[in-house]
Amino acid sequence: MRRFRRAVRFALPGLVAGLLMAGVAQATPAKGDVVQIPALTLMDGRQLPAGYYSGKPVVIQYWASWCPFCGRQNPYFQRLWDTARETGLEVLTVSVDKDEADARTYLHDRQYTFPAVMESPELRQAFGKRRVIPKVFVVRSDGRIAEVIPGEMFEEDVLDLIKYAPNR
């Protein structure tokens, strides 16, 4: 019994600290929170350094190739991307697929050209673990979250995100 108490006494603080750290890492940012977008490698091979999005508004959408709601919403994100290119509004999509090949095939087959990355531990650290997809975060140019939108959006609501563009 004495050995058990001693093991618990030494193991418990580490376990509690680990659980707390995991909780912090998985917390989803809310409106007004500041986020830092990490370095990213887009699926087209382009490398974006940490800080690439600093000073720029960005709309980030989480999606999956197997998600029917994402399948209905992604054409609207393509239209937003096509419209936003000249306005200073950035668009980034994040696939939560387990297999990158599935995400690549999905993008290719539908001829989507919006910037896309695979979810990474660094993105999970910044944006937490989702409980729903699609999920959209709007990050203002100062790095603060302007909106968090869980679930499928109507076309007009996705296209209305252009309001965050600095050069409309």
Mean pLDDT, range 128-150, rounded to an integer? 96
Quick check: is 14 in a domain? Answer: no
Structural domain tally of the chain? 1
Whether 84 maps to a domain, the answer reads yes
Confidence band, pLDDT 50/70/90 cuts, at residue 168: confident
User: For residue 96, is it within any domain?
Assistant: yes
Q: Which string of DSSP letters, residue by residue, matches the chain?
A: -HHHHHHHHHHHHHHHHHHHHHHHHHPPP-TT-B-----EE-TTS-EE-TTTTTTS-EEEEEE-TT-HHHHHHHHHHHHHHHHHTTTT-EEEEEE--SSHHHHHHHHHHHT--S-EEE--HHHHHHH---SSSSEEEEE-TTSBEEEEEES---HHHHHGGGGG-TT-
Res 15: pLDDT:
40
Residue with tokens 């418990």: 12
Q: What percent of the chain has pLDDT over 90?
A: 79
Asked if residue 58 is part of any domain, the answer here is: yes
Q: What is the pLDDT of residues 16-67, one digit of tens each?
A: 344 333 444 458 899 999 999 999 999 999 999 999 999 999 999 999 999 9
Which CATH number covers residue 96?
Answer: 3.40.30.10
Residue 123 lies in a domain: yes
Domain-located, residue 71: yes
Whether residue 39 is contained in a domain is answered as: yes
Average pLDDT estimate for 87-114: 98
Q: The domain containing residue 66 runs over which residues?
A: 28-164
Residue 8 lies in a domain: no
